[in-house]
Chain A
Amino acid sequence: MAAEIVLEARDLTKRFGGVAAVNGMSLSVSKGEILGLIGPNGAGKTTMFDLLAGSVRVSAGSIRLMGRDITTEPAYRRLAGGMARTFQIPRPFPDLSLLENMLIARQSQTGERLWANFTAPRRIAAEERAAREKALGLLDLVALRRLADDPARVLSGGQRKLLELARVMMADPQVILLDEPAAGVNPALLEVLISRIQEINASGVTFVLIEHNIDMVSRLCNRIVVMAQGALLFQGRPDEVAKEPRVIEAYLGGASA
């Protein structure tokens, strides 16, 4: 029962001027879990991700990743430490190809070290081949493989979200924060993504999912945290969340019926 906690936020607060976007929010995520984070627009969900991933600094509170205090660590160190996030509005490098955008996301490449290029050229070549294969496989998954050599600027809004999702997988993270992966994605392709997230999860990767597509959240998550006005409103199983009057009032509206 006592599952290992991989990500834990305690009493997180973020103030922008006089406004507390996140106000004393706590969260703990167990290894192998897919945790849903939902709530009305402006509840502070994305700010919560910004704090967890290190995109903005916390005003108060603490964050632990796999037992290590990362509260003051910069974003890139948290990525190296095994946690990656996607953005709601992705900004790929417009003039790089999709494949290049993917390869950049890979962590600690041997070829990045100057001398290794002279002392271990074969190893670097083998690594790069493997990375290429992996990148193409991931692009295939999100239905973008046929565009692999095209510049990212040709992608539509929805396709950018898909590239973002594929790119985050390149870093082999242990914990993945997904910010509205379904918005703008065609429903048929979404079915493919849902089953792929389930597969990756089955291999031990933990997810935190911000999403307004309640069908997707209910199918993927066994626990949902509902935020409102920067703080915890409710948490529970999807069926408990769906019939909680406070959640219906603040968030679901008639859609839950």
Chain B
Amino acid sequence: MTILQVNGLVAGYEPGLSIVKGASIHAAEAEIVVILGPNGAGKSSLIKAIAGLVPITAGQVLLDGHDITAVPAHLKIRQGLAFVPQTENIFPLMTVEENLHVAGGILPRAEVAPRIAEMFETFPDLARQRALMAGSLSGGQRQMLAVARALIVRPRVLMLDEPSAGLSPKLVEQVFARLSEIRQAGLTIVLVEQNARAALAIGDRAYVLVEGREAHEGPAKTLWDNPLIAELYLGHRKDAS
């Protein structure tokens, strides 16, 4: 069942300068969809536009069949669409627990504490560091906190902008394994990544975005093995790996 449907989206930061130029993508329930593409293709802008953070000039965003194109960002999260930016995705001068409190602020008051407890169960590392300033977390833990902040409100779709950037290989492995687990619980994940190898390993389906619209689409595994796409966008030749 399709949860997120994006039709012919056009979006950009400045009038007359579209970065997303008619992109159409969709994601099904409990699916991990990966968005790859060259630098400047509009990958981040696409998911930011879906989240309501980049002005949309044409096209549609449907969540569960409802048109949410014009819904402002802070209300999109209430409808189940969460977004984790690449940087500045936590409050560094608040503790880990305070960060979760703030994020859980849109839940009914009685649910906040139990939901924080659930997040600590899912992310034991964060539980151990609940009283620490979030700014002093390591890169991987910080990324986990950003994901926990998004998950605390029980979204149906989680969109992430390059969660692996700047993380050590070991942490990339941990973050992606955790995303895979979260999906088992029925969450839909839309993942923008340059680390194609790691992303396609956990992804079900992938798009290659070129100049603001999708140029290729297919199952994650076949995309990795497609020699043309491998050479143009993934930087590996079939014989090389």
Which chain A residues have a beta carbon within 8 Å of chain B's beta carbons? 38-42, 88-89, 143, 147, 154-159, 162, 180, 183-191, 212, 214, 250-256
Contact = CB atoms under 8 A, between A and B. Distances in A.
Nearest to A89: B87
B166 A180 contact: yes
Contacts of A158: 39-40, 194
B232 A188 contact: yes
A212 B231 contact: no
Interface stretch (B21-29, B71-79, B233-241): B233-241
Interface in B128-185: 138-140, 162, 165-174
Contact of A212 (B17, B43, B169, B174): B169
Contact of B194 (A39, A40, A187, A254): A187
Given A40-B170, A159-B39, A186-B194, 12 more contacts: A39-B168, A147-B40, A154-B13, A156-B39, A158-B194, A185-B39, A186-B38, A187-B196, A189-B38, A189-B235, A252-B169, A253-B173
A255 B175 CA distance: 13
B23 to A, nearest CB: 15
Nearest to B166: A183
Contacts of A212: 166-169, 172
A155 B42 CA distance: 10
A14 to B, nearest CB: 16
B172 A187 contact: no
10 contacts: A41-B138, A147-B40, A156-B39, A159-B40, A183-B194, A188-B231, A189-B39, A189-B235, A253-B168, A255-B172
A41 B194 contact: no
Interface of B: 13-14, 17, 37-45, 86-87, 138-140, 162, 165-174, 194, 196, 231-236
A188 B194 contact: no
Contact of A184 (B39, B173, B232, B235): B39
9 tightest A-B CB contacts, nearest first: A253-B170, A187-B235, A41-B139, A158-B39, A255-B169, A42-B138, A188-B235, A41-B138, A183-B165
A188 B166 contact: no
B143 to A, nearest CB: 9
B117 to A, nearest CB: 26
B69 to A, nearest CB: 23
B40 A188 contact: no
A163 to B, nearest CB: 10
A214 B87 contact: no
A184 B165 contact: yes
A253 B167 CA distance: 12
B44 A40 contact: no
Contacts of B40: 147, 155-156, 158-159
Contacts of B42: 156
B25 to A, nearest CB: 18
Contact of A40 (B41, B45, B138, B162): B138
A185 B162 CA distance: 11
Given A156-B45, A255-B172, A41 B39 contact: no
Given A154-B17, A255-B172, A187 B233 contact: yes
A38 B162 CA distance: 20
Interface centre among B170, B171, B173, B231 (most CB of A within 10 A): B170
A154 B15 CA distance: 12
B44 to A, nearest CB: 6
A67 B236 CA distance: 41
B140 A41 contact: yes
A192 B10 CA distance: 31
